[in-house]
Chains A and B, each alone.
Chain A
Amino acid sequence: MVTEDEIRHVSGLMRIKIDDYKEYIDKVNAMIAYFDILDSAGVESEEVSFHEMSVSDLRKDSHIPFDGSLIDQLKHYKGAYVRAPKMSR
């Protein structure tokens, strides 16, 4: 079970402003209650498998030229800078 406080905490971490936390409690709890089925799968000793990829196979981290002005795509910018709200009041 997830409480209103937990939903408030998690939504804060996810940077979501919710006006009515209670609205989410029932449905999120129903989802989490369904996930309890995972307890009966008996996979405690199972190893998690991963697909490994060599660093040499990764694409180069290089600049890709763009034939336009990307900054013009933004709603708020000044010169070559993204406009953002101030970091503190």
Chain B
Amino acid sequence: MNLRISALEYAEGVQNGSISAEDFVAGTLEHIAKVDEKIHAFLSVYDGAVDRARDIDKKIRSGEKVGACCGMPISVKDNICIRGEKTTCASKMLEDYVSPYDATVISRLRDEDAVFVGKVNMDEFAMGLTTEFSAFGPSYNPWDTSLTPGGSSGGSAASVSAFECVASLGSDTGGSVRNPASFCSVVGYKPTYGLVSRYGLISYANSIEQIGPLARTVKDTAFLLDVIAGPDPHDNTTVKGGGRYLPGIESGIEGKKIGIVSEMTGEGTDPAVASATSDAISRLEGLGATCETVSLDMVKYSVAAYYTITATEAGSNLARYDNLRYGYDLGVEGYEFNSYVEKARSRFGPEVIRRMILGGFVPSAGHAGRYFLKALKIKSKLAREVGGAFEKFDLLLSPTVPMLPFEIGAKIDDPVSLFLVDINTVTANLTGRPAISVPFAVSGKRPIGMQLMADSMCDAELLQAAFALEQTVRLPEVPL
């Protein structure tokens, strides 16, 4: 069974009878059992997925209509709720939590006959960039297992890259889909804020996070976005008017104006990444686009603003974990209420505790004006700067991450160095814009992704440009 195919190739194969959903899903589970010892992408694997796939085959044989996903095996980041399954957020705090409901994205994929093969690893509560902050141990990059797969959706990216599924869902608060997509050489998409429902996503920083797909190709990404996007009465931040993304994806980018963000391509960029960026610019120009440098002054402050805002929102969001309504098994007998809650919450990992301390400190009386309020002002000014750029340009380009994938453990003790991995990705989150990471080059065994960003609700145009860029490169296969 050839598992190295795209989601659309899979769906076409099942529809024309050349692929059996049951065989493909069974093959996927066997492959997971074989390779995941090395990759550790999965926190839980659903053996019942084969039964679901068998049902799809039966439906097809009996002439019943099947959904567009045709039983395609999909992995899901472990902060997205699937009814009856554990949703741990890679935290000891939620290690026994079983969700009583489906996230909206899960319902929509189910309605189209997707098959979920398991939950994948992440940094605890999505706070991190490498999966090293998972309470259940890190994931490893399929390109080179000494390297981090990126994060926080590192399990999602690694599982797609290692052919343990055809696509995955992640969440992107500051680059958590795009960063691991870049490190693992897969496509990662952060939609316009509000395009995809967050109902059933365990909250980290509600004002900026979005669920996004990771897939092998830009077309697969557009296909998945068609399934999961759209208004949801359960999430008041969802917006109308998204449209369709796969039709028209081959429209090309002739005549488009692309801004090259100088603050994301200059000092501190690895030479191999800088060279790949120059190459990407040449290729886009070769396709008929015009490229010009643009400066976004507030990008310099965006990472500090991002961490100030997210720590504050995380401090509030994580206050709900008192272990009484959801959590792990810790008996209540013999405890006074406050000491029980304190004891229960000591199960949070060190990075989560650090960010909660920050989240208590930066908005507190005496410090809020210096940190939190200023961060909100930078967010507003950055949004105006980006809005101004999109009056002149159709798209903005930068490398997704200014550095190459690095060794596991290389930055774990240096929080500021880790923060700066996010420098090119947080702008899309702080301003609500859509952005995509497209696999573009490989330096040794270290993949490099290019990031394209578009104006709000221009997701279709963004995917068209990403598809055009993707067609200009032929990359080596992951050396599994």
Co-assembled chains A and B: yes
- Would B332 and A48 count as touching, CB distance under 8 A? no
Contacts of B390 in A (CB 8 A): none
Which of these, B301, B308, B332, B342, contacts A15 with CB under 8 Å? B342
CB distance from B276 to the nearest CB of A (A): 28
**B406 at interface (Cβ–Cβ under 8 A)?**
no
Contact status of A43 and B354, CB under 8 A, knowing A15-B342, A38-B301, A70-B100: no
Contacts of A15 in B (CB 8 A): 319, 322, 338, 341-342, 345
**A37 at interface (Cβ–Cβ under 8 A)?**
yes
CB distance from A14 to the nearest CB of B (A): 5
The residues in A between 1 and 30 inclusive whose CB is less than 8 angstroms from any CB of B are 2, 6-7, 10-11, 13-18, 23-24, 27-28, 30
CB distance from B38 to the nearest CB of A (A): 30
Contacts of A89 in B (CB 8 A): 336
**A68 at interface (Cβ–Cβ under 8 A)?**
yes
| Nearest CB in chain A to that of B233: its residue | A59
Which of these, B100, B298, B324, B374, contacts A76 with CB under 8 Å? B324
CB distance from B65 to the nearest CB of A (A): 26
- Would A59 and B236 count as touching, CB distance under 8 A? yes
- Would A16 and B307 count as touching, CB distance under 8 A? no
Query: How long is the Cα–Cα vector from A59 to B236 in the complex, in angstroms?
Result: 7
- Would B329 and A24 count as touching, CB distance under 8 A? no
Contacts of B326 in A (CB 8 A): 73-74
The residues in B between 403 and 435 inclusive whose CB is less than 8 angstroms from any CB of A are 414-416, 419
**B357 at interface (Cβ–Cβ under 8 A)?**
yes
Contact status of A27 and B415, CB under 8 A, knowing A10-B360, A16-B345, A74-B325: yes
Contact status of A84 and B304, CB under 8 A, knowing A41-B378, A43-B374, A59-B236: no
**B249 at interface (Cβ–Cβ under 8 A)?**
no
CB distance from B198 to the nearest CB of A (A): 13
- Would A34 and B361 count as touching, CB distance under 8 A? no
Interface size on A, residues (CB 8 A): 51
A36-72 CB mask vs B (1 if < 8 Å, else 0) is 0111110110111100010001110000001010100
| Nearest CB in chain A to that of B353: its residue | A16
Query: How long is the Cα–Cα vector from A83 to B325 in the complex, in angstroms?
Result: 9
Tell me if B's interface is mostly helix, strand, loop or mixed: helix
- Would B343 and A17 count as touching, CB distance under 8 A? yes
Contact status of A37 and B301, CB under 8 A, knowing A84-B324, A85-B337: yes
- Would B357 and A10 count as touching, CB distance under 8 A? yes
CB distance from A66 to the nearest CB of B (A): 7
- Would B354 and A24 count as touching, CB distance under 8 A? yes
- Would A38 and B370 count as touching, CB distance under 8 A? yes
- Would A85 and B335 count as touching, CB distance under 8 A? yes
**B89 at interface (Cβ–Cβ under 8 A)?**
no
**A87 at interface (Cβ–Cβ under 8 A)?**
yes
- Would A32 and B358 count as touching, CB distance under 8 A? yes
> Would you mind naming 25 contact pairs between A and B with Cβ atoms under 8 Å apart?
A2-B361, A11-B356, A14-B315, A16-B345, A16-B348, A17-B343, A18-B346, A23-B350, A24-B354, A27-B415, A31-B354, A32-B362, A33-B416, A37-B304, A38-B308, A39-B370, A41-B374, A41-B381, A49-B383, A59-B236, A73-B98, A75-B96, A75-B328, A76-B324, A82-B325
Q: Which 6 A-B pairs rank lowest in CB-CB distance, beginning with the nearest?
A: A10-B360, A17-B342, A43-B377, A46-B377, A85-B335, A85-B340
| Residues of chain A having any CB pair with chain B under 8 Å | 2, 6-7, 10-11, 13-18, 23-24, 27-28, 30-35, 37-41, 43-44, 46-49, 53, 57-59, 66, 68, 70, 73-76, 82-89
